[in-house]
Amino acid sequence: MNRSHVHLMDLPNEVLLIILRKLNNIDVLYSLLDINNGRLDILAQEKTFTNILNFVNTDESSLRSVFQQQITSLILVNNDKSARVRSLKEYTRNVYAHILHFFKNLTHLNIICPYIVFCPGLSLCDLPATTFHSSILTHLSIMVENFDDCLYLLDGRLTQLTTFNVDVYSIESSSTIVHNMNKLPNLKCFSLKSYFRFQQYDLIPSLLRHMPYLEHLTLYLCIRGPNRIIDGTCVQNDILVYMPQLHSFTFYISAYIDISDLSLNLSREHIQQTLINIGQQNTATIVNYLSTCTVECSILSLAFVFDFLGPLGNIFPDIVFNYVTYLHVQDNDPFKHEFFVRIARSFPLLKYLRISNIDPQISAYMKLTSKHIQSYSMIEYPHLISLDVSHGHKDYLEQFLNETKTYVPCLTELEVYLRDLKVMTMNFTREETRRNCAKVKQLIFFEARLDNVGVGVGVGCRPSCQSEILIDT
């Protein structure tokens, strides 16, 4: 018998993992990383990460010391959707606060929450001032439960903070607590994002006045009231005048206006001119009629660097939004096929799409013949994994599930009014919808049509009539 030579990479993953489990020396594991072999690198990282978790729960002081003393920068991706149904205070103590307690020399902490709605936010209300504190942390990115939690983090418990990026789940629910905040001389970079509509706009300028040494400012705000347009003049008087050292200002600020107030100037050109007047030339303005009584006026800096945008209407800037993965579209006028052609072109990385429009896509007398349908360009959304049409007319379900109009090869989650789905798919037997539905594993449906729910509802709000099916394929 000829002697055969078996190389390490000829072994199956199961055998490689058995070998890696025997490598208790962390230095040996690290030596396997970055050797230009993707397969071994992934397996070694899995083993290394498992070791890290085990070290946290063991009494091996030497191993614990390695991680406690040597790690200074930490990036965590939090996919824990279930945490919002548990006690956020317990989660703050057991997870967020424990991170700073365990990693003694941490200077950079970045907690990434890919799910806007379900990510557990840090909640410090009624907890001791020693909760989540550090005398050496300089960079922090985190999501907090409400605006008060943002203020708690700036009350002196993080004295060396120079960069603070915070996503606020709710500004609306903030209390009247007076927080101990002085000027923040160390803070040079600040980012505040809130994707949910709120009324207390004055809280934002009040906070920013404590940051006169800022050099970089990022804001994403959706304001529901009072009934005022946030234009260039407002930005200058409320924000920029208090920041003489500011070098860069990145923003998306939208205000929801009651158009019964005829004294407001809703001209896109007028609003854009106010931005130019304060030196903000590389910007855009959007005026979107959401309903017969509500208009959204938005100002944004270019290039647009946020991953979320909405609600967006029929009229929007002819630019490419390279970072947006979550888009909400809403308008008082129907969305035509050409609109979705533009969406596919302008949002190349789109993963989540929500459609709020109860008007039919085309009138009955304008129904296209099969010949005209064939002349339409078929749209492809190569990255779309989640589609929500529960707030839209059934025509938009037809637009996305009919493969002669749109191709969505990665669609795994569908949110819909059940009756529309049955009619449009001919009770799940229609051939034209088979390919686009082939990979759907999570079906969230509603027994009652949500015709009016979409107007004025923040991201992720769910009526109680929803049901969910997990499809095992």
Share of the chain above pLDDT 90, in %: 55
Share of the chain above pLDDT 70, in %: 73
Summarised one tens digit per residue, pLDDT across range 348-381 is 999 999 999 998 987 533 455 555 555 568 999 9
Q: Is the pTM of this model over 0.85?
A: no
Q: What is the pLDDT of residue 18?
A: 61
Q: What is the pLDDT of residue 111?
A: 92
Q: Is the pLDDT confidence value at 463 over 60?
A: no
Lowest model confidence (mean pLDDT) among 366-370, 396-400, 427-431: 366-370
CA-to-CA dists, residue 177 to 148, 152, 181, 377, 403, angstroms? 8, 10, 12, 56, 55
| Residue range 248-264: mean pLDDT, rounded | 85
Does residue 114 have a cis peptide bond before it, meaning omega lies within 30 degrees of 0?
no
Q: What is the pLDDT of residue 454?
A: 39
Do strands 326-330 and 352-357 pair parallel, antiparallel, or not at all (unpaired)?
parallel
pLDDT band at 46 (very low <50, low <70, confident <90, very high): very low
| Residue range 387-409: mean pLDDT, rounded | 95
Judged by phi (left if over 0) then psi (alpha if -120 to 50, else beta), residue 126 lies in left
| Residue range 18-41: mean pLDDT, rounded | 51
The rounded radius of gyration (Å) of the Cα atoms in the chain is 26
| Residue range 213-228: mean pLDDT, rounded | 91
Among the listed residues 366, 394, 376, 310, the one whose alpha carbon sits nearest the alpha carbon of residue 337: 376
Summarised one tens digit per residue, pLDDT across range 339-353 is 999 999 999 999 999
Lowest model confidence (mean pLDDT) among 99-108, 140-149, 247-256, 357-366: 357-366
User: Average pLDDT, whole number, for the chain?
Assistant: 82
Q: What is the pLDDT of residue 455?
A: 35
Do strands 406-407 and 379-380 pair parallel, antiparallel, or not at all (unpaired)?
parallel
Summarised one tens digit per residue, pLDDT across range 430-461 is 999 999 999 999 999 887 766 544 333 344 44
| Residue range 6-16: mean pLDDT, rounded | 60
When mean pLDDT is compared over 265-269, 274-278, 424-428, the highest value belongs to 274-278
Domain boundaries, the chain: 307-473
CA of residue 420 relative to chain centroid, distance: 28
- Give the N- to C-terminal CA distance of the chain in Å, as an integer: 45
Kindly provide the b/e burial profile for residues 326-339, where b requires at least 16 CB atoms within 10 angstroms of the residue's own CB: bbbbbbbebbebeb
Q: Is 158 helix (H, G, I), strand (E, B) or coil?
A: strand
d(CA 442, CA 468): 7
Q: What is the pLDDT of residue 377?
A: 80
d(CA 168, CA 218): 13
Q: Please report the beta strands in 290-385, taking only residues with DSSP state E, as ranges in sequence order.
A: 294-301, 308-312, 326-330, 352-357, 379-380
| Residue range 258-280: mean pLDDT, rounded | 86
